[in-house]
Structure 1
Amino acid sequence: MAIARWHRLFGTASILGLAIAAQPAAAQDASGTPASRTGATQATTSTTQETVAGVNGAQDPSQAPSESDANADDIIVTGVRASLASAQSIKRNASQIVDSIVAEDIGKLPDNTVADALQRVTGVQVTRGAGEAGTVLIRGLPNVATVLNGREAFTGVGRGFALQDIPAELIAGVDVYKTSTPDLVEGGVAGLIDVRLRRPFDFAGSQVAASGRAVYSDQSKKWGYIGSGLVSQRWDTGIGEMGLLVAASYNKRLYQDQTAFDFVSSGTPIATPDTVGGLYTSGDRRRTALNASFQWRPNADVEFYADGVFTRYDNKIAVDFFIGLPKAGTLSNVVANTDYPLLAASSTTTNAYTLTSKQAYLNRTDNYQAVVGGKWTLGQAVLNTEVTYNYSKVPNRNAILDTSFNVPRLDVTYDVGGTPQVALTGADLTDPGIFTIRTLFDNNSLDTSEQIAWRNDLTIKPDSPVIQMLKIGTRYTHRNVRSQATASIPIGFPTAAGAPLSSIPGFASLSPGGLVKGALGIDRFVTADTGILLNDTDTIRTLFGQPTGPRAYEPNLAFFNGEDTYAFYGQVGYRFDLGGMVLDGVAGARVVNTVESLNGNGVSSKQNYLNVLPSINARLGLTDTLFLRAAAGKTVTRPEFGQLNPLITLVPSGATGTQQYIGTGSGGNPDLQPIRSTAYDASIEWYVARSTSLTAAGFYRDLSGYIQTYSQPENFGGSYLVNRPRNAGNGYLAGAEVAYQQFFDFLPGALSGLGVQLNGTYMDGKTDDPINGGKQRIVNVSHWAYNAVAIYEKYGVSARLAYNWRSSYVDSYNSGGVQASTILVDPVSRLDFSGSYSPTEWLTLTFDATNILDDVYHDRFKGKNSVTGLFYDSPRDTRTYDRTIQIGARVKF
């Protein structure tokens, strides 16, 4: 009975595993969104990029500059210098406050994905997991609008596109808009990220390029590869000029994340962790991306175009879980923590019931975008119209098998440099004969989302020295979202005694080794075989007395959303000559009506709200190279569709085997309102030379209804601590940024190839604390962050050494359980290297290394608990990530 009780209680540790191991899948949603996710640039001249923006505001997708647009007399620069010069030109001439990344040549962006590249941008931070950058934050906030070539894009039921799904090889550049103009798509309180893909009229003639890289990951000890290709051609025909571009990329990466964890609950008289353990998350991730673009210019005044983008994400994940249960046996020798006497520092358990678990996942995301449009120039007016179709499909499947064994003695030290340490006596964890099959989880889900958008823009350039541009436009969208899933409930073995793991021949497998560099004290251990779990699931279902075949979706878990938006905007581009200085900018407003309907879990609701979003951006040219900017405006971010899901999942009290622990729950919130912000920005920018600049900016965001996920007591026939997204009230985000870049051309000889990029950000953000009153820090906001990049480019050699650092930040508040309510992440840093050598004009050899310093991630439970009122400070996670080396080549003809 004791074994059955403890496994019933702690078998639900696999629910914890679901949350942890599903991180790679979670990275596919839009909050990183991601948790959230446009013309092309050829970095050959400074003139090329100076037309991207300016007083005309954001660039229309059909108006990207091309190589052939450059003047024949321009000075030609190439490589990283050209990239920095082009990005600097975009920033200098934009009407908004914007930072850009420009790929200096096809396939030469030094990072693997858009998300990886964005971590170098001033004011941008990323979260990491599954061997890559995931959620992208602008100034600490995840509420980012994402567009491809100026068109809204999304992944699954999220609002944004998974930027890690876009390979760096396919992009021309990325623009990070920190202030808004009325013609930009609404939806980003934090800002907007515009990923610009290449188009055929970007090139003067034909273009063929290809690249390939082999990637070695040190924790998985396996090789992967990345390959890409691009073909583009322009023709003069009897009916005008035509261009066609096709680009493709394929990426296979074998990665491994490692984690040690420690979850403190309560006890008498000393709080002793309920679980302590570790896990290996091994992934076989494959990404496919296709981009096709057709342009037809019958004459100088008319252009038609069609663009298509397809991305696929496939990830086969195997999680090997070790779960120690210090209370599932005879607990003794509990030693109090000298700094926090209510916490245990160490303990001993005899006859300890212990678990391992194999958690296997098959995750897929398919995203499609198709666009048709046209542009007509009618004297001083330009009319643009286009229709965009988006479709996203996210099927996921997981199979989890828990196994148990008894350990004669389990000794645990709970905090050794931020990591727990475990010692087992009397049990061989590599012996399959000691393991018993206990619990099965057998789940699948399907999210789909479809959108049609129609946009019209009319731009007029009147003959006026003051009014440089008048622009009006409309945009209509219709989106349907559907989510279906099976219930994530444990299926216990039919008999209390369980069954030997040897019940299925070949079912036992051995985990990888070297968990968090040996810090946990646990190395290799037996779990179930991933292949049998995923490919022979019916055998396991039969063993558990379950029907064969996939489980049916639960009707009460399904939800369906419909959303229509109606937007109209108008803006004026202005210019004033003020005694030798020039004041220019854009002012106007965007008005958006949103109509939403929600059906799910017996709940039907509708919302209809109007947002009026005025904005003004101004730039004052003090000299030809020194500018002051100021901007103010209102922005809005709608809730994620998944956040609106009315489903609540409840776990009854006693789930950790302690009397003080109350029931827990999690779910969405159909009553969420949009986040609203009034934004104020100012900057000073000094452009010293073509690729040399010094800039500083200050910003303030007045936030209303900021959405945060936290737990609060609710009654469902009993008291439950329910974790769900909520509008947390009012708040603010304030900060400052500084950035400097330069090539030291004045140095002699080889030293003239040296360059540097430096940027830093300070932020302070708080919102209402709905639990304790007062204010609390905004989740994910680090007070300090900086990038330092050393560059060299000379004699065909190009190299970059980039260091990235951010200070401590809050991961979440009031997590379930009665450990401390706040999860606080230690400072995070990373050092990467990228190098190449071009022996000829058409061939470049490359070498890259990431995570060179092998930095370790730590976070902690810290603060007062909302249930007990006690203060805790105890370790939560220790994580290590792969270091990688990449060797490759690029060719261009």
Structure 2
Amino acid sequence: MSEGQLFKSSLLALCIANALFGMSSTAVAAEQQEATAENMEVIQVRGIRRSIEASLNTKRFADSTVDAITSEDIGKFPDKNIGDALQRISGVTVDRQYGEVSGVTIRGTAPEQSRILLNGQTVASTSWYDLGPATRTFNMELLSAEQVNAVEVHKTPTARLEEGALGGTVDLKTRKPLDLDAHTYQVAGELSQSSLYDETDPSGSFLGSWKNDDEKFGILGAYSVEKITSGRQVLESLSGYYEYFAADPAQNQESTVGAWGIGSQAFRAERERTSAQVTLQFAPTDNTEFTLDYFNFELDIPHVNHNFLTVGARGSGSTNVVNNAQGGTASATILPAYASIIYNPVVRHAVNMKSDVLNLTGKYVGDSFTVSGVIGQSTSDGGTQGGSSSWWIPATDQGGKIGDPAFPNGQGSVDGGFSYDATGPYQVVLTSLDANDASQFKHAQEANYETTVQDHKVTYAQTDFEYQLDHDFINKIAVGIKYNTSDFERNAFNRNPAEILGFVPNGNLANWSDGVLSGLHSQSGGNVLDSYAKLDEDKWWAFISEKYANGELVEVADLGNTFTVEEDMLALYAQADFSGEFYRGNFGVRYVNTDQTSTGFADGKPYNESVNYDNWLPSINVAFDLKEDLILRASASSVMARNNYSDLKPGLAIAKNFGTATGGNPNLKPYKANQADLGIEWYFTESSMLSAALFYKDIDNVVFVTESTQYIEGCGASESEWDKCRVIAPANGGSGSVTGLEIQLQHNFESGFGFLTNYTYVDSKSTRPDGTEQMIEGVSENSFNGSLFYEDDLFSARIAYNWRSEYLGVGNIQNVLNDSYQQVDASIIWHAMENLDVSLEGVNLTNEVVQSYDVKYGLTQNTIEFGSRYFVGASYKF
């Protein structure tokens, strides 16, 4: 063990000892006094109006810039998903992938540059999507909103707050038994349905809390299970945009530049999310408290992804080519070739991710000091294991399988032709094939399917000490130490290509089909490919499972996508809180040192790279009470954010069929930013506020994607293509800036009506080393949220509207521009009896779509339809 590791291990042991034993020994020696009441009103939260008052209270009395969302009652969070609720906060926009929110963008930064904490601590996280990046953000798809008591969004840091957020830190607060009545129990049930599918799914939850008569010991347990059949339908491009047919001057034919292929996708998932919590709370004296929390979150998401592909890059040529001003092919007719039309159903039944947290906290309040400690561990595992990705091609194509040795000079086709238009939602017309006739397709290969297994483990220990001062300016000093470790591992496997070619008996699709997919892409008009014959997924899965069991399908390691990232992080901080007659605030500095080791494979051999870096992060927050109801805030700070795990991996992951290879960079530096904030808040009633805030971020070490053409063995369908491999990898060297304005207005009327609105303007840009500028990914220049509600003794009703302007995103391997997006959600709750509520909710009522375009060529990227979701439920409290 090195000296540095020994030093950190000793610190970890010291933290644990302090956390568990230090406060109790102090308690014996010290004569106790009653704890000083904090300068915050106590509000019993129940109903929309009380929830708003509690949330405003959190914001109003915080020394830094904090926004909050508070549950209306036990099991009654304002939205179905934590992310849906967060988008109601100014400066926050959300990222949707499969209908539910999976990430948040705070004040002009990417989702992975915001921190998601649970009761102030990091939660280990993995993902289920095998093609997605391994990020640091906690996947909010895992967490049931019913178990959350409140959410705090810290837009400006303090020295005490854990580092790692460039945009902001979201802290999810759960309930504790000593804060609730002695016998608090609630059960709830719900039925849900998505407009894309006919299934109705049940969900249920339970929460129970008890404490003894002297309120010294309490226990809380909660469990929920949520089921919904949902998904998305997409008209999409696959792989990048490039020239795959050169110009033919003799025929006055322009070059053909477009995506490798165009897909009509229908993704269907049967989600089951379970969430469990057990909390023990023990307060042996008025000054001492211990809390032990255990959480378990799990998401099972078996799914099937049908995709009908028209593959221009596999055609034998093109005619009727029309290019746009950017050089992209807006429309063309593709001449048939072998497998230029592919029906690609992907069946993935072993898809799961889960996280658990075990966390022990303790606190002792002395005469003029407070000492507290935390130790904990969080683990997560997930991924996509086993599955099938098959290729079905026109039955008239020559050869029974890809690479048929009977056709050494290549295979041909007569039915693989089509015409397409890429100026809006993809329009596709097949030249001769009937996509709805299963007999016109045959099995060609079981494609090279990727299995990923991810593991993440986080351990932490910290000790904090506060000392109250009798001073005219500084009234409290806080110091602390925290030691974190993070070990992320991703193992990937492919099937051996020699074993996956043409093994299907009775290989005509008619023998394996159970009908036709129809009614797809209802929000897109014209000649969209909205129906085609589909695979019987249950029959096919039974067949594939038998192949695995018999050893006919064998997985081999995909070393290019296998890696680990191990980090040891030591943080020290000192913070001073100050106040006077008309002001309050804090200033301090946080120091953090990071040891990072990335391990992967280069040229098939193990390779690792170790780096060490440290950051000094000063911060200051000041709030001036200009009047009793008028507050002026100012802050300045330095912040940092570590890179995605997948960006830090060594080696290359080769996509043979697409001719691309993606890699990481273990030497990436963390993002850094200096930022400032100035705001004013007017609380004209206890539940009403008008506020405005200006913010600025100056960002260094921005990561950008590099692309080059290199010779990479195995990158391409044949050896002749290996020298044309497109290699994509991240690099530092960019810079960026964010300037923004937030405005909030909310008010409750005596009539029972009320509204909440906010508007955010963000001017964000990143600059590459060559001087070119672009918007920061995931950031809209303008966003608006508005909610109108009504509440009386019998009903609570709410309608919410969310809108954001266009924003830059990431496609398969290139930047895309997403059109503006809007969404309308609504809910109504009937208080049928004193303890019985009946609810009806709708999400994305107008079934809006996400439309995106390639930045370079101005061609369509995706048209994504999530569908509307509906919920009817009842809850009983006793």
Normalised TM-score (structure 2): 0.85
Aligned counterpart in structure 1 of residue 649 of structure 2, from 612, 631, 645: 645
1:616 equivalenced with 2:615 (yes/no): no
Q: Which residue does 1:303 correspond to in 2?
A: 289
Check the 8 A contact 1:255/1:284 in 2, yes or no. yes
Q: Which residue does 1:20 correspond to in 2?
A: none
1:235 equivalenced with 2:203 (yes/no): no
Check the 8 A contact 1:232/1:245 in 2, yes or no. yes
Structure-to-structure mapping, 1:134-173, within 5 angstroms: 134-141=102-109, 142=111, 143-156=113-126, 158-173=135-150
Q: Which residue does 2:49 correspond to in 1?
A: 81
1:225 equivalenced with 2:199 (yes/no): no
Please report how far the alpha carbon of residue 786 of structure 1 lies from its aligned counterpart in structure 2 after TM superposition.
0.6
Structure-to-structure mapping, 1:51-62, within 5 angstroms: none
SS of corresponding position for 1:159:
coil
Please report how far the alpha carbon of residue 151 of structure 1 lies from its aligned counterpart in structure 2 after TM superposition.
1.3
Q: In 2, Cα distance between the equivalents of 1:479 and 1:243?
A: 32
Aligned counterpart in structure 2 of residue 118 of structure 1, from 86, 102, 113: 86
Q: In 2, Cα distance between the equivalents of 1:91 and 1:537?
A: 55
Q: Which amino acid is 1:890 matched to?
A: S
Aligned counterpart in structure 1 of residue 817 of structure 2, from 797, 811, 824: 824
Please report how far the alpha carbon of residue 140 of structure 1 lies from its aligned counterpart in structure 2 after TM superposition.
3.2
1:439 equivalenced with 2:418 (yes/no): no
Please report how far the alpha carbon of residue 534 of structure 1 lies from its aligned counterpart in structure 2 after TM superposition.
4.0
CA distances 1:146-178 after superposition (whole Å, capped 9, x unpaired): 111111113026422112211111010101110
Task: Indicate how the Cα distance of structure 1 residues 477 and 279 shifts in structure 2: closer, same or farther if over 3 A, else same.
Answer: same
Check the 8 A contact 2:491/2:562 in 1, yes or no. yes
Q: Which residue does 1:805 correspond to in 2?
A: 803
Please report how far the alpha carbon of residue 515 of structure 1 lies from its aligned counterpart in structure 2 after TM superposition.
1.8
Please report how far the alpha carbon of residue 794 of structure 1 lies from its aligned counterpart in structure 2 after TM superposition.
1.9
Structure-to-structure mapping, 1:186-585, within 5 angstroms: 186-236=163-213, 241-262=216-237, 264-266=241-243, 267=245, 268=247, 269-271=254-256, 273=258, 274-326=260-312, 328-329=314-315, 331=317, 333-337=319-323, 343-347=329-333, 349=335, 353-361=340-348, 362-397=350-385, 398-405=387-394, 408=415, 410-415=417-422, 418-440=424-446, 441-487=448-494, 494=501, 502=507, 507-510=512-515, 512-517=517-522, 519=525, 520-540=527-547, 547-548=551-552, 551-554=555-558, 557-577=561-581, 582-585=582-585
Q: Which residue does 2:790 correspond to in 1?
A: 792
Task: Indicate how the Cα distance of structure 1 residues 389 and 822 shifts in structure 2: closer, same or farther if over 3 A, else same.
Answer: closer
Q: Which residue does 1:56 correspond to in 2?
A: none
Q: Which runs of 5+ in 2 are unaligned?
A: 1-36, 127-133, 248-253, 397-413, 714-722
Q: In 2, Cα distance between the equivalents of 1:355 and 1:136?
A: 36
Please report how far the alpha carbon of residue 741 of structure 1 lies from its aligned counterpart in structure 2 after TM superposition.
0.4
Task: Indicate how the Cα distance of structure 1 residues 554 and 77 shifts in structure 2: closer, same or farther if over 3 A, else same.
Answer: closer
Q: Which residue does 1:600 correspond to in 2?
A: 600
Q: Which amino acid is 2:758 matched to?
A: N
Q: Which runs of 5+ in 1 are unaligned?
A: 1-68, 657-662, 746-751, 864-871
Check the 8 A contact 1:696/1:736 in 2, yes or no. yes
CA distances 1:215-248 after superposition (whole Å, capped 9, x unpaired): 11111222123311100011036xx710100011
Q: In 2, Cα distance between the equivalents of 1:571 and 1:73?
A: 25
Please report how far the alpha carbon of residue 346 of structure 1 lies from its aligned counterpart in structure 2 after TM superposition.
3.9
Q: Which amino acid is 1:402 matched to?
A: W
Check the 8 A contact 1:376/1:382 in 2, yes or no. yes
SS of corresponding position for 1:873:
coil
Task: Indicate how the Cα distance of structure 1 residues 162 and 72 shifts in structure 2: closer, same or farther if over 3 A, else same.
Answer: closer
Q: Which amino acid is 2:83 matched to?
A: A
Q: Which residue does 1:130 correspond to in 2?
A: 98
Please report how far the alpha carbon of residue 95 of structure 1 lies from its aligned counterpart in structure 2 after TM superposition.
1.2
Q: Which residue does 2:834 correspond to in 1?
A: 841
Q: In 2, Cα distance between the equivalents of 1:233 and 1:194?
A: 25
Aligned counterpart in structure 2 of residue 855 of structure 1, from 822, 841, 848: 848
1:586 equivalenced with 2:559 (yes/no): no
Please report how far the alpha carbon of residue 329 of structure 1 lies from its aligned counterpart in structure 2 after TM superposition.
4.9
Check the 8 A contact 1:383/1:457 in 2, yes or no. yes
Task: Indicate how the Cα distance of structure 1 residues 691 and 246 shifts in structure 2: closer, same or farther if over 3 A, else same.
Answer: same
Please report how far the alpha carbon of residue 556 of structure 1 lies from its aligned counterpart in structure 2 after TM superposition.
6.0
CA distances 1:379-412 after superposition (whole Å, capped 9, x unpaired): 1111101211111111322321111115647442
Please report how far the alpha carbon of residue 76 of structure 1 lies from its aligned counterpart in structure 2 after TM superposition.
6.5
Aligned counterpart in structure 1 of residue 728 of structure 2, from 723, 726, 743: 723
Q: Which residue does 1:9 correspond to in 2?
A: none
SS of corresponding position for 1:116:
helix
Q: In 2, Cα distance between the equivalents of 1:711 and 1:691?
A: 52
Check the 8 A contact 1:437/1:500 in 2, yes or no. no
Please report how far the alpha carbon of residue 744 of structure 1 lies from its aligned counterpart in structure 2 after TM superposition.
1.8
Check the 8 A contact 2:509/2:535 in 1, yes or no. no
SS of corresponding position for 2:302:
strand
Q: In 1, Cα distance between the equivalents of 2:45 and 2:177?
A: 22
Check the 8 A contact 2:124/2:457 in 1, yes or no. no
Please report how far the alpha carbon of residue 807 of structure 1 lies from its aligned counterpart in structure 2 after TM superposition.
0.6
Q: Which residue does 2:764 correspond to in 1?
A: 765
SS of corresponding position for 2:644:
coil
SS of corresponding position for 2:353:
strand
Aligned counterpart in structure 2 of residue 783 of structure 1, from 781, 784, 797: 781
Q: Which amino acid is 2:682 matched to?
A: W
Aligned counterpart in structure 1 of residue 859 of structure 2, from 874, 880, 892: 874
Q: Which amino acid is 1:310 matched to?
A: N
Structure-to-structure mapping, 1:630-669, within 5 angstroms: 630-651=634-655, 663-669=659-665
Q: Which amino acid is 1:244 matched to?
A: I
Q: Which amino acid is 1:470 matched to?
A: I
CA distances 1:313-372 after superposition (whole Å, capped 9, x unpaired): 110110001001346556565142576676243426457841101112232111010011
Q: Which residue does 1:59 correspond to in 2?
A: none
Check the 8 A contact 2:294/2:356 in 1, yes or no. yes
What do you get for the CA RMSD once the two structures are aligned?
2.7
Q: In 2, Cα distance between the equivalents of 1:725 and 1:624?
A: 51
Aligned counterpart in structure 1 of residue 737 of structure 2, from 715, 732, 736: 732
Q: In 2, Cα distance between the equivalents of 1:211 and 1:640?
A: 38
CA distances 1:801-858 after superposition (whole Å, capped 9, x unpaired): 1110111111138x65xxxx64111101101101111022201110111111221221
Q: In 2, Cα distance between the equivalents of 1:73 and 1:611?
A: 37
Q: In 2, Cα distance between the equivalents of 1:197 and 1:413?
A: 52
